[in-house]
Amino acid sequence: MIRLLDVHKVYGQGSNEVTALAGVSLEIARGDFVSIIGPSGSGKSTLLHLIGGLDRPTRGDVLIDGRIISRLPDRDLTRFRRAKIGFVFQFFNLLPLLTARENVMLPLVLDGRGRAEAAARANALLERVGLGGRAEHTPDQLSGGEMQRVAIARALAFSPSILLADEPTGNLDSKSGEAVLDLIRRVNREERCTVVMVTHNERAARYAGRIVYLSDGTIVGAPSSR
């Protein structure tokens, strides 16, 4: 369960202050697929970063499974992120140096897992996202859609309970985008993995079970569900 309690996020100081989030409270139940939608600068990505423990709120708390993550020290937060959260980015952010398999292995290796164990898990995940035959390819040998599927496989390395996706289709053509969204929905349904996805795209947002509208740092309108 994800809970945001009156979360504020302010960047800058004094006259340069920019309020990204102005008192957001939100609950997302385990296994939900939530899309966050809103115009540029509405605070969507900030919200995602706070849930993922990449950033800390200026005021208010972020709780994951009852634990206040916004107050964890950096080392614990890193461990928490590794264990509970999977990230998918708009620009895929794969390491160009590593093959698809190695990119998926990376979080496991960073966690100190054995190479054989990490490789087996990476192979299974790549099969799962339909890229079993592309494991030895480096990112520059993959299409945009394939790169994003590798990124999703990487995000699933630790079987996280939460998958956070920031504009996962923002850099893809519509066909590849749909394939990625299908994959995310499958992960949500088959693994009971909570998914929070930020998007500009109303069509993409509709893949979620629930849509949250953000504007000027606050949640507007009734949450809709399908």
Residues in contact with another protein by the rule CB under 8 A: 46, 49, 52, 54-55, 74-75, 78-79, 81-82, 87, 89, 91, 93, 95, 97-98, 102, 105-107, 109-111, 115, 118, 154-155, 158
> Min. distance of Cβ 16 from another protein in angstroms?
15
> Given the DSSP bridges, would you call strands 67-68 and 59-64 parallel, antiparallel or unpaired?
antiparallel
Say how many Å lie between the first and final Cα of the chain, rounded: 20
Q: Which one, 22 or 106, has the nearer CB to another protein?
A: 106
Q: Which one, 10 or 98, has the nearer CB to another protein?
A: 98
Question: What is the rounded distance in angstroms from the CA atom of residue 10 to the CA atom of residue 18?
Answer: 6
Q: Which one, 91 or 225, has the nearer CB to another protein?
A: 91
> Min. distance of Cβ 83 from another protein in angstroms?
8
Question: What is the rounded distance in angstroms from the CA atom of residue 187 to the CA atom of residue 18?
Answer: 36
The answer to whether the CB of 32 falls within 8 A of the CB of 24 is: no
CA gyration radius, the chain: 17
> Min. distance of Cβ 100 from another protein in angstroms?
14
> Min. distance of Cβ 221 from another protein in angstroms?
26
Question: What is the rounded distance in angstroms from the CA atom of residue 216 to the CA atom of residue 100?
Answer: 38
Q: Which one, 21 or 211, has the nearer CB to another protein?
A: 21
